[in-house]
Amino acid sequence: MIQDRNRQSVSSHNPLQVCFVAHFAYGALAGGERGHIGGVERQTSLMAKWLAGRGHRVSLITWDEGQTDGEIIDGVQVFKLCRKDAGIPGLRFFRPRWSSLNAAMKRADADVYYHNCGEYVTGQVAMWCRRHGRKFVYSVASDPDCDVRLPEMRSLRERVLYRYGLKRADRVIVQTRRQQQMLLEGFARDSLVIPMPCPGPSDAEYAACDRNRNGSQRVLWIGRICEVKRPDRLLDLAQMRPEVHFDLVGPAGESEYARKVCERARTLKNVTVHGPASRDRVADFYQRAKVMCCTSDFEGFPNTFLEAWSYGVPIVSTVDPDGLIAGKSLGAVGTDVPQLAAGIRELLASSQQWRRASQTAREYFAANHAIDKAMARFERVFCEVVDSSVRRTGS
């Protein structure tokens, strides 16, 4: 990881008491392969551990996955909800899911509660904080959470609770200026743009992987194999560029779309379907890739972008958060398959152009998303929302 070696601990006289509400994050915090581990869960775990390392009292609320309530992992105390499948369908929304969330938030007894990802839980957390005089910081995970239509929220209950939480949050954090503008125009809600943190290789590890991929003609695609991420476009690219090898990495759902994509991918000689990969294996894919490709219809600010840039891997993409890829020469942008193919061809054909994009990507990551750089901004926000005169330092 790129870290500031001079990082100092927070004064023990005035630590924050922060609770992260992330139902699916136990696996990411504890390690291993159990449970759902996505970008939000990895970031939440990373943030919690960093703040604990700074001397803050940090807790995390997750589903009951068999862990002991109140156990401490890397300085983070874990309070559990009910099991995800507990209760009677139709009634379990209220009991035991909502009731166990309220009970866990009470046990955590934090000054400020943090939730990332737009859903009904956003409103539940905001409601408890408002009732108990605690602070609430909400962080946007993707562009649809900023769309006034809330296209990814299927039920009225979810939309109502999310809107309530968004309105009542003490601070709202977004990843891009586009998200900031969408919230302002659609919800009349102010927000702060803060780059998200991401672990990355040390300078020595980066230099080693840079040497190892000399001559590589590998393009990496990584994510959930689902319709919104359009991996079918990657297969079209593979047919257009038979001299390039494409690595398709990620879990496939049970949908007919995912099944057809995997079946078609296995018929192409220059495509390897790897399936889901552990965090250790994911690092290997970045180390071997010359380019990463994103084919999604929409994204927020994918963790995979940050991870790729940390390894100096340029990105050829259909989405470009705040115009960073094009504006800072971090790869290439294309609206259709031929344009994506052209971007890949230009980067792989010119070692000089690829080298410039690779170095720029690494420098951009180090300046904005390296853990200490990004987390210092989050720490300041938490400190600002919690008035120092009301912190319960001894509890």
| Helix axes of 351-368 and 337-349: crossing angle, nearest 10 degrees | 100
* Judgement on whether residues 227 and 152 belong to the same structural domain of the protein: no
Cβ pair 105, 18 in contact under 8 A = no
Distance CA 149, CA 182 (A): 11
Sequence-separated (6 or more) residues with CB below 8 Å from residue 226? 253, 255, 257, 258
Question: Is 364 inside a domain boundary?
Answer: yes
Positions of the chain with pLDDT under 50: 1-13, 35, 388-389, 392-395
Domain count, the chain: 2
* Judgement on whether residues 356 and 385 belong to the same structural domain of the protein: no
Question: Is 219 inside a domain boundary?
Answer: yes
* Judgement on whether residues 192 and 247 belong to the same structural domain of the protein: no
* Judgement on whether residues 217 and 287 belong to the same structural domain of the protein: yes
Q: Could you tell me which of 321, 298, 297 has the C-alpha nearest to residue 309? A: 321
Question: Is 3 inside a domain boundary?
Answer: no
Domain that holds residue 139: 17-197+370-389
Question: 318-361, pLDDT tens digit by residue?
Answer: 999 999 999 999 999 999 999 999 999 999 999 899 999 999 99
* Judgement on whether residues 302 and 210 belong to the same structural domain of the protein: yes
Question: 119-145, pLDDT tens digit by residue?
Answer: 999 999 999 999 999 999 999 998 999
Report pTM.
0.86
